[in-house]
Structure 1
Amino acid sequence: MGGEQQQTGFAIVGAGGIALSHADALARSTRGRLVSVCDTNARAAAQLAAAHGARPETEFSAVLTDGDIDAVILCTPNRTHVPLGRAIIEAGKHLLLEKPLALTSADAEMLVRRAEDLGHVLVVGHTHRHSDQARAIAELVHGEEIGDVRYIHIVMNGGWLWGGWSSWVLDRAQSGGHALHNGVHLMDLAAWWMNDRPIAVRAVGQKVTSAALAIHDYLVIDLRFANGAVARCEISRAEIPRDSSFTEMRVVGSAGTVERRWDAEGLLAWTDRAQGAWSPGGAVARSFSGQIERFIDTIADASRAFPPARDSLEVIRWAEAAEESLATGCSITIGALR
């Protein structure tokens, strides 16, 4: 029928916890539909597929050859992102890839270039960019309402979210460490708000839950910019009680400040004109919905990519530097991107 808009067909590969948020976002969308759920765990694939009227698959190759699938949301462990992501792109599918883009900047560069060469969309799921609060801060900062940004502090602390001691996230070979697994979210936000790239990275960490951890569960990552501005990114998955969650954001400019001080509070701004308060939140459902709708826009117009794939590539370089800083105790200088 001429007046009907054709929906974009999606597959979700990897039926773990984050896949539920993506599937729910597709269920709320009028422009995208979930066609298939693929996981080597047949039960997990069947459960998620049944909840959304999709087909379950256990063979990844079936996703690559399915003509009803235009795009894939890849939700598998970090170490699989490059081989699976490359296969998806080379099969002619667009790719929404859960963060991080890759475990090394060399692999990230290869994947981005492959998508560019073949003309397929590659977007990394830096979902926090799509939250109401992050977009409100960006609008205020980029509109120069608080002058030149001098300092950013982002705190995202939560309880033990990694599913127990057998979780793949705790294996550095699979996750890349905490800077790559979760720190990328905060560094991406900071650089977006700053509208610049850091020239140096320094990180300190702790193993709060247990000294036996192979990775740090608490990190502070400092990004230093050429104009002297600093962004401090604090990320923890070691809080008590276990299901706790706390987010704090503060951006200090030469002519004012904007901050979110507590989860129940909205944003507060002090500028030379007035003190203002409004209440955009970080609602997860709206963030995932905003992300999927923007991704569908990007399939039609590549210039709409948010974030651009090369922004996500640079974040991997900063995360690599953070992990190197953790290992050496030194500040790591970031060279110009080739």
Structure 2
Amino acid sequence: MSEASEPLGIGIVGVGGIAVSHMAALRTMPEARLVAVCDVDAARAAEAAYAGRCTAYDDVDALLADPSVDAVIVCTPNMTHESLGRAVLAADRHLLMEKPLAMTGDGARALQREAAERGLALAVGHSHRFSDQGLAIRDAIDSGAIGTPRFVRVAMNGGWIWPGWQSWVLNPELSGGHSLHNGVHLVDLASWWIGEPAASVFATGQKTTSAALGIYDYLVMELGFASGAAAVCEISRGERPRSASYLELTVVGTEGVLTREWDAEGLLAWTDTGLAAWGVDGGGARTFRRELEGFVDAARGRRPVAPPVAAAVHAVDLAVASERSLATGETVRIEVAA
């Protein structure tokens, strides 16, 4: 274990696409360093370790036995989150879990209890909270610029991103469905901006790409709040062309409205494949660096973890309720802790 004055030693479990963003952020942070990676694919782990100039493992227990590992980022498929999270916490390592925290509310709460009992930092990768736009909206709300938030609309629509029909994401038993895999980001933002947990969910969706899909690749979740506030969260991965990207953010308050226009993403161009957008200011890199800076500070005891673990647990509850609503066609009530 490293001393508090030394960089926090980080291990990453699962070296797929999202791990690359974490690795890139770590390279810019003097207060933390990548010391190890682990993947069931030993060759892929070795390749990532070569790029990250760190140690490669193909066994989680071996990584957790490495004394240079102070904290672990888990970037594996959803169905592994609870078991890997338990293993990391049992080894007394701080944990940053890629969203969702777990596939069930009970599983999420079990990880929450374990971290609290051991005095460990448990963060969840709700990265949109750390984006320029997410923070700007929260800051405007906190300043009182729009009064009390009463309605939120979040739309994040894009094209197909999964590698093939056998992708684990398309199997709801492995991913938890689209509500849990991608929709969890949106319901977390809505609850955060409204400033209270949601009390009900109604969801509807379409299998836009093909009726053979096991998930709804187009999904709308309507959230109700005890105060009377409401939110509409729209998430799609069935747009055409695959490069399509549409983002809409609206927060209506008692004294004003905040909006984020879709064409503010950066440089836009119409090409033979449709509309494409490129961020020109490095906003994506800043998002992951902010997330990791917060995690490192929490592990060092300098500030509370963000988002609070209770909020990450609530996001799981909302996503699970959304999937239940999709199956039954009914509004699902959420039990909100006092």
* TM-score exceeds 0.5: yes
Aligned to 2:130: 130
Instruction: Name the SS for the 2:249 alignment partner.
Output: strand
Aligned to 1:164: 164
Instruction: Name the SS for the 1:304 alignment partner.
Output: coil
Aligned to 2:273: none
CA distance in structure 2 between the aligned counterparts of 1:223 and 1:82, rounded to whole angstroms: 26
Aligned to 1:26: 26
- Percent identity over the alignment is 48
Aligned to 1:120: 120
TM-superposed CA distance for 1:264, in Å, is 2.5
Is 1:62 the counterpart of 2:46? The answer is no
TM-superposed CA distance for 1:180, in Å, is 0.5
* Partner deviation per Cα, 1:98-156 (whole Å, 9 max, x = no partner): 00011110111111101111111111000000001100000101222101112110011
Aligned to 2:310: 310
The amino acid across from 2:163 in the alignment is G
TM-superposed CA distance for 1:336, in Å, is 2.7
> What pairs with 1:206-221 in structure 2 (closer than 5 Å)?
206-221=206-221
Instruction: Name the SS for the 1:183 alignment partner.
Output: helix
Aligned to 2:326: 326
CA contact (8 A) 1:11 1:37 kept: yes
Task: Extract structure 1 runs of 4+ deviating beyond 3 A.
Answer: 279-282
CA contact (8 A) 1:121 1:299 kept: yes
Q: Does 302-311 or 313-322 show the bigger shift?
A: 302-311
Q: Does 62-71 or 140-149 show the bigger shift?
A: 140-149
TM-superposed CA distance for 1:308, in Å, is 1.0
TM-superposed CA distance for 1:60, in Å, is 1.1
Aligned to 2:105: 105
Instruction: Name the SS for the 2:258 alignment partner.
Output: strand
CA distance in structure 2 between the aligned counterparts of 1:43 and 1:132, rounded to whole angstroms: 36
Aligned to 2:272: none
1:102–1:47 distance in 2 versus 1, CA, 3 Å: same
Instruction: Name the SS for the 2:49 alignment partner.
Output: helix
The amino acid across from 1:238 in the alignment is G
CA contact (8 A) 2:197 2:336 kept: no
The amino acid across from 1:317 in the alignment is D
Is 1:283 the counterpart of 2:286? The answer is no
1:19–1:226 distance in 2 versus 1, CA, 3 Å: same
CA distance in structure 2 between the aligned counterparts of 1:87 and 1:265, rounded to whole angstroms: 39
1:293–1:303 distance in 2 versus 1, CA, 3 Å: closer
Q: Which runs of 5+ in 1 are unaligned?
A: 267-278
The amino acid across from 2:79 in the alignment is R
* Partner deviation per Cα, 1:143-201 (whole Å, 9 max, x = no partner): 22101112110011111111111111011111000001111101111111111111111
CA distance in structure 1 between the aligned counterparts of 2:57 and 2:109, rounded to whole angstroms: 30
Cα RMSD after superposing both structures: 1.7
Aligned to 2:90: 90
CA distance in structure 2 between the aligned counterparts of 1:51 and 1:187, rounded to whole angstroms: 35
* Partner deviation per Cα, 1:207-240 (whole Å, 9 max, x = no partner): 0000000011011001111221111100011111
TM-superposed CA distance for 1:280, in Å, is 11
CA contact (8 A) 2:297 2:303 kept: no
Instruction: Name the SS for the 2:33 alignment partner.
Output: strand
TM-superposed CA distance for 1:252, in Å, is 0.8
TM-superposed CA distance for 1:244, in Å, is 2.1
How many residue pairs match? The answer is 323
* Partner deviation per Cα, 1:61-91 (whole Å, 9 max, x = no partner): 1111110000000001100001111000010
CA distance in structure 2 between the aligned counterparts of 1:300 and 1:57, rounded to whole angstroms: 26
Task: Give the TM-score normalised by structure 2.
Answer: 0.92
CA contact (8 A) 1:248 1:263 kept: no
Task: Give the TM-score normalised by structure 1.
Answer: 0.92
